[in-house]
Amino acid sequence: MLSGKGRSEQGRAEFVRRRMLVLDGLARIGLSVPVPPDGAFYVYFDVSSTRLTAWEVCERVLEEVHVALTPGKDFGACGADRYVRLSYAASSENLEEAMRRLGRFMDRLAESTKALRAASA
């Protein structure tokens, strides 16, 4: 049986793994994390490349791929329209699925943007 310190270290190591899972996933998807988290269980990432506001991204991601994100405006005014927050307090399996779903959302968004550009050309 692990001591209190052993359980604490094991828990900390698990959050480090989850943080890396999310940071790597966001990087693969093309979503920028300007300041990687250190000591927290959430990550802010930049959605300005989507040409949507943080609020619009959060609404659409929830409706279209069923991943809950929080818009930056809930945490202050600085960058409120370009950053969203994702918690990595969920299981690794759920986070992996969330990254897959966010990837699908970004792929669909890119496809619809291409189609709109082609239609207007």
Q: Where are the beta strands (DSSP E) in 6-78?
A: 42-46, 70-71
The CA-atom distances, in angstroms, between 76 and each of 39, 61, 84, 87 are 19, 21, 11, 17
Instruction: Give exposure, 91-121, as e/b (b: 16+ Cβ within 10 Å).
Output: eeeebeebbeebbebbeebeeeeeeeeeeee
Write the pLDDT tens digit of every residue in 68-119: 999 988 777 777 899 999 999 999 999 999 999 999 999 999 998 777 677 7
Write the pLDDT tens digit of every residue in 26-76: 999 999 999 999 878 999 999 999 999 999 999 999 999 999 999 988 777
Q: 44 has which bridge partners? A: 85
Q: Is the pLDDT of residue 9 over 90?
A: no
Contact 88, 19 (CB under 8 A): yes
